[in-house]
Chains A and B, each alone.
Chain A
């Protein structure tokens, strides 16, 4: 599903240069549940942003779903994200003005799905994450766990083959976090490729593949928490 080769990414902070990705090469097979772990500042979030096309590497190649996407421009990336990738964020990132259903529908709005059709698909997605009757609530009326479930429904609604999750349990208590993790594992068993960025060893321990980062470098498989 994902293959990257010698990715390099530098950040310039004033005069100093920070190498966020340093010669990163790996492959995540289709259907895998992978974890990217590492300390704060190890480059794991940068890696996730590059994988999702929100950021671009300075050098290296990237194949997504069999296509070379190394030189995609922002518009091509927007379309690719809309079809291929579902994003889940640590802080949920639901739009407060929209209902849960409105939030879940969002990717379909940009796919130009007619309103009635997308409402139906969004209702199905909310039911699939265990929130069948919360569609008309605003995010502020939902608990943290329910908000993250809504966000996962939004990531799923367009039926993308890949989910990218950035610390999905980081803002949740242990029990709720575990539920969300269970939900992601459930989605994984349905055949989706899931990449989770985390510094939780518990999350990493449940992944099939762990990519450990330190100072922008990928440690040898098994070199991190495995």
Chain B
């Protein structure tokens, strides 16, 4: 038997029992569609991470205390005096909070900082202005709203000059940020910014969550990173007491986490493909039993055992590859509908199509082999006598 004849036979066999073939393929169809959809969702999230790296720039260092490390406002002057290459040194105090306007309330991360934050280049104002050194000096309760927060409380109208309640205090809205899009961790769009002294007073602490260091170039940032890492390691006797990482390193870590997540999703989906393969093997074994007599006839007219292996293996492959093709179609449709359901961007990846096809080919080969070999090993006399 030639390969062409084997394929013709397999195709005709599948076509003559379409419903059964479809049910047999279902596991592979769902498995392939799942691989493509989940990888697309994972990729969509990673793309969002990548785009945020670009909005924040790569010259910013995060100096973050480890658990239990004393880290107060004095660190700002310590860092400033030890890193002459730093252009901007900005303290951060982060907390959760609730913002109220009349009866409407929105939960938002609260960031206490200084006017220097604006100079990191991470934010752009849509309306009003960032708080000024005067606001800071006079302990004014000024607040800058992230784009989503503004939208949630004020709709499309300009909130500058309005009053909101935050951490039990009345604040005046002085500015609104432009949206930057979905990012890893906490999005700036969902945050609100208040002067650091006000935040420290309201949260009853003089600690800082982090200090941001802006350098004029990536090289300068790298130099400052080494310098600060050494200084803090010497001061606290441990490299983990204070971590000094660039913005893109922080994001790369997040990105790696996302990739792990994507791989896990793909792995789960691949397991479902294996389950689909077991389904194919099951039906192929039934088919071999049903067609025992056919195998006997084929042997009687001159089929060698390898011909029988080829015939049943090709049948399993045609089933799994057809399932793969239908799964790619279903996956493509699901990728376009996924963002509506999971509210997360999805990016169709050609790699996942290749992966799915390679895997469904392997599934057909691996799970088709046992039934095919079983068919070829049948005793032709017993096979001819079977069921009649």
For B301, list chain A residues within 8 Å (CB): 81-82, 87, 106-107, 110, 154
B16 interface neighbour in A79, A97, A110, Cβ under 8 Å: A97
Is there a chain B Cβ closer than 8 Å to A112's Cβ?
yes
A109 within 8 A of B: yes
Chain A CB within 8 A of B303 CB: yes
For the complex, give the distance between the alpha carbons of A89 and B297 in Å: 10
**Is the pair B384, A110 in contact by a Cβ cutoff of 8 Å?**
no
Distance (whole angstroms) from the CB of A14 to the closest CB of chain B: 17
Q: What A residues does B307 contact at CB under 8 A? A: 78, 110
In the complex, whether B293 has a CB less than 8 A from a CB of chain A is: yes
List the A residue with the shortest CB-CB distance to B304.
A78
Tell me the nearest residue of chain A to B5, going by C-beta.
Answer: A109
Asked if residues B296 and A93 are in contact (CB atoms below 8 Å), the reply is: yes
Q: Which residues of B contact A81 (CB under 8 A)?
A: 300-302
> Do the beta carbons of B16 and A49 come within 8 Å of each other?
no
- Min CB distance B295 to A, Å, is 10
A174 at the B interface (CB under 8 A): no
Residues of A within 8 A of B5 (CB): 109, 115
Interface check A75, CB cutoff 8 A: yes
Contacts known (A55-B381, A95-B294); A87 close to B12, Cβ less than 8 A: no
Are A110 and B388 in contact, CB atoms less than 8 angstroms apart?
A: no
- B1 adjacent to A95 (CB under 8 Å): no
Contact of A75 among B12, B293, B298, B304 (CB under 8 A): B304
Task: Check A74–B305 contact: CB distance below 8 A.
Answer: yes
Shortest C-beta distance, B315 to chain A (Å), equals 12
Q: Is B181 an interface residue (CB 8 A)?
A: no
**Which parts of A115-156 form the interface with B (CB within 8 Å)?**
115, 154
Give the A-B contact count at a CB cut-off of 8 A.
62
Whether B388 lies near A79 (C-beta < 8 A) is no
CB-CB nearest in chain A for B17: A97
Residues of B within 8 A of A83 (CB): 302
Enumerate A73-102 residues with CB–CB distance to B below 8 Å.
74-75, 78-79, 81-83, 87, 89, 91, 93-95, 97
Those of B255-294 within 8 Å (CB) of chain A: 293-294
Q: For chain B, give the interface size range.
A: 20 to 34
Q: Mark A145-172, 1 if CB is under 8 A from B, else 0.
A: 0000000001000100000000000000
Q: Count contacts on A: residues with CB < 8 A to the other chain.
A: 27
**Interface contact A110-B300, CB-CB below 8 Å:** no
Chain A residues with CB below 8 A from B296, complex form: 93
Minimum Cβ distance to chain A for residue B347 (Å): 45
A54 CA to B299 CA in the complex, in Å? Answer: 8
B2 sits at the interface (CB 8 A): yes
Of B2, B297, B381, B388, which is within 8 A of A95 by CB?
B297
Q: Does B13 contact A (CB under 8 A)?
A: yes
The digit string for A187-221, where 1 denotes a CB below 8 A from any CB of B, is 00000000000000000000000000000000000
Neighbour of A111 across the interface among B294, B297, B302, CB < 8 A? B302
Least Cβ–Cβ distance between A180 and chain B, in angstroms: 19
Q: Choose among B293, B384, B388 the residue that contacts A54 (Cβ–Cβ < 8 A).
A: B384
A137 to chain B, nearest CB (A): 16
Q: Does B2 lie within 8 Å of A112, measured CB to CB?
A: yes
Task: Choose from A93, A97, A110, A115 the contact partner of B302 (Cβ within 8 Å).
Answer: A110
CA distance A154 to B300 in the complex (A): 11
Alpha-carbon separation in the docked complex, A55 to B307 (Å): 19
> Would you call A97 and B1 a contact (CB within 8 A)?
no
Nearest-Cβ distance from residue A74 to partner chain B, whole angstroms: 7
Nearest A-chain residue to B4, judged by Cβ: A115
Q: CB-CB < 8 A to B380: which residues of A?
A: 54
Determine the residue in chain B with the shortest Cβ distance to A78: B304
Chain A: minimal CB distance from B2 (Å)? 6
Using a CB–CB cutoff of 8 Å, the interface residues on chain A facing chain B are: 49, 52, 54-55, 74-75, 78-79, 81-83, 87, 89, 91, 93-95, 97, 106-107, 109-112, 115, 154, 158
Besides A49-B381, A55-B381, A78-B299, 20 new A-B residue pairs in contact (Cβ under 8 A), listed by A number: A54-B299, A54-B381, A75-B306, A81-B300, A81-B301, A93-B293, A94-B297, A95-B294, A95-B297, A97-B12, A97-B13, A97-B16, A106-B297, A107-B301, A107-B302, A109-B1, A109-B5, A110-B1, A110-B307, A111-B302
A-B residue pairs, 7 tightest by C-beta: A82-B302, A110-B302, A78-B304, A107-B301, A87-B300, A93-B297, A75-B304
Between A and B, 30 residue pairs with Cβ closer than 8 Å are A49-B381, A54-B299, A54-B300, A55-B381, A74-B305, A75-B305, A78-B299, A78-B305, A79-B302, A81-B301, A82-B301, A82-B302, A83-B302, A87-B300, A87-B301, A93-B293, A93-B296, A93-B384, A97-B12, A106-B297, A106-B301, A107-B302, A109-B1, A109-B5, A110-B298, A110-B301, A110-B302, A110-B304, A110-B307, A154-B301
